[in-house]
Chains A and B, each alone.
Chain A
């Protein structure tokens, strides 16, 4: 009996030794081949001119031209709203999108909040005219860089929009609009920052949407000079913004690459700085799955190079091309997922960016309609009437590729995009976008009384 047990143990040990050797040999071969493929992919990308490090994407920026220095001061000074102010500010933003007035009690709370942050607003105004925005030292990899606090950016945008509305009501609309324009410039400039990763891009989109909504509230229904309107139209170049926004996705690609390579390298100093992987067994696991990590990094990187070709397409083409690309490439196989292998889904990003573009285009078309009315004493019968004297071309809805919807409804004139569902919801819009394709009321409209 004792002899047979020992025999079994020895046999098991021998089999284990053979299996371990086989597995580790296969791992080593896979590690080598994946490393070669990753290296080749990076070499090809470099030859094609794609930047491979955050350092390559960091703008040259003299300290005297650096808007980030002023923003850092604003970050330190900003007073975030207290509970009551926060509730009031949320309601105010909702009213911006919903078109309802701000009640007097909320107005008082918001005025106080704006007053506390007067210096912050001044700093942002000043930063918006700076030529560059470099938040951290260029040598540091993107994943280890310091970033502007997105909460404070969002609160700053809210502050600027509210301040603009209050000024427009209490002093002059010109002052209100000036605040909105400065804010829009500031947030657009984030695209050129050293830290313009995707989360910053999404923050900038949210901030700009707030400011565009505030801008619309001030402009709609107000008589304005043609020269002023022409000047204001320049702020709403959706194509230029799409170009800028593409940079966020490109920087994110480099972020993912740097992060992936650091994880592959298993450099404990770098990884521990982000508390990942913190424990020894996690490091051991990372060593074991290193070939898979290389596979992941290469796959994501190559995918992002394919996506690069879609960045400047209008959303309706972008969405289709992206779906085809994903279908062609396939999602992460099920047997890889337990290792925490991830892949990016760009669809929500493209959709959010397209929503902002739609807002910019409708605002621009709305301003053009106001110019037409100044020139002809009435609103145009259709958007084609604005071309070529006021607009170069009829603005196309990013969600459909067709001209924006333009119509009169009761005593209102509306210009709107049909939004993600591609369906005409009569210009009704929603404040929060929570799905890739909203079921209803996700039009993006510019409207005013047709007097």
Chain B
């Protein structure tokens, strides 16, 4: 069948003039290739799955953490009978920074050595420095 049709097809094809390619088509296609490649590589199904999955899981984890944390906190507070104080009551005279600043250095160093096996937190450093200034004032306590 193929052999029988071939001469006819050849003849018909010779009568058909090839249509010219639209002007600029080649350039447009070539220009679109990098963008296509880029789009394809950014949004592969795997990446999309990972990103969406991670985000959803993260939200779930954070929500669960917050909920469980709240439940645990409430249970612990009920256990110890501790309730957070309100600002009104905390506005009453509290031992503020000046209270600690007035401690003699030896007491503070005792406190530091009591509290810290290892490294004292950075926020306490200024207290220690203040205590050194107070040493002269309260020397001998």
Interface residues of A, Cβ cutoff 8 Å to B: 3, 6-7, 10, 14, 17-18, 20-21, 24-25, 27-28, 31-32, 35-36, 38-39, 42-43, 46, 52-53, 55-56, 86, 90, 93-94, 137, 139-141, 144-147, 149-151, 154, 198-199, 202-203, 206, 257-258, 261-262, 264-265, 267, 269-270, 273-276, 290, 331-332, 334, 337-338, 340, 342-346, 348-349, 352, 432
Contacts and interface: CB of A to CB of B under 8 A. Distances in A.
A43 B79 contact: yes
Interface string B67-107: 01100110111011110111101101111010100111011
A348 B113 contact: yes
B4 interface: no
A275 B124 CA distance: 12
Given A28-B65, A348-B110, A151 B104 contact: yes
B54 interface: yes
Contact of A331 (B37, B99, B117): B117
Give the residue among B64, B86, B118 with the most A Cβ atoms within 10 A: B118
A52 B117 CA distance: 24
Contacts of B82: 52-53, 141, 258, 261-262
Given A146-B93, A342-B117, A269 B85 contact: yes
B75 A39 contact: yes
Nearest to A3: B38
Contact of B90 (A86, A270, A290): A270
B115 A342 contact: yes
B89 A39 contact: no
B61 interface: yes
Given A25-B61, A32-B68, A52-B79, A276 B123 contact: yes
B38 A150 contact: no
Q: Is the interface of A mostly helix, strand, loop or mixed?
A: helix
22 contacts: A14-B47, A14-B50, A17-B55, A21-B54, A24-B65, A25-B58, A28-B62, A39-B76, A42-B79, A43-B79, A149-B99, A199-B111, A206-B141, A257-B80, A262-B82, A270-B84, A270-B90, A273-B85, A340-B119, A342-B118, A345-B117, A352-B110
A275 B110 contact: no
B140 interface: yes
Contact of B72 (A39, A93, A203): A39
A46 B38 contact: no
A10 B139 CA distance: 63
A270 B94 CA distance: 12
B58 A3 contact: no
B84 A35 contact: no
Interface in B13-40: 34, 37-38
Contacts of A149: 99, 102
Contacts of B138: 151, 154
A54 B57 CA distance: 41
Contact of A14 (B51, B85, B102, B113): B51
B79 to A, nearest CB: 5
A340 B79 contact: no
Interface in B106-141: 106-107, 110-111, 113-123, 137-141
A55 B139 CA distance: 36
B114 A349 contact: yes
A290 B119 CA distance: 19
Contact of A144 (B51, B94, B120): B94
A340 to B, nearest CB: 4
Given A199-B111, A270-B85, A28 B61 contact: yes
B103 A150 contact: yes
A262 B34 CA distance: 57
A360 to B, nearest CB: 20
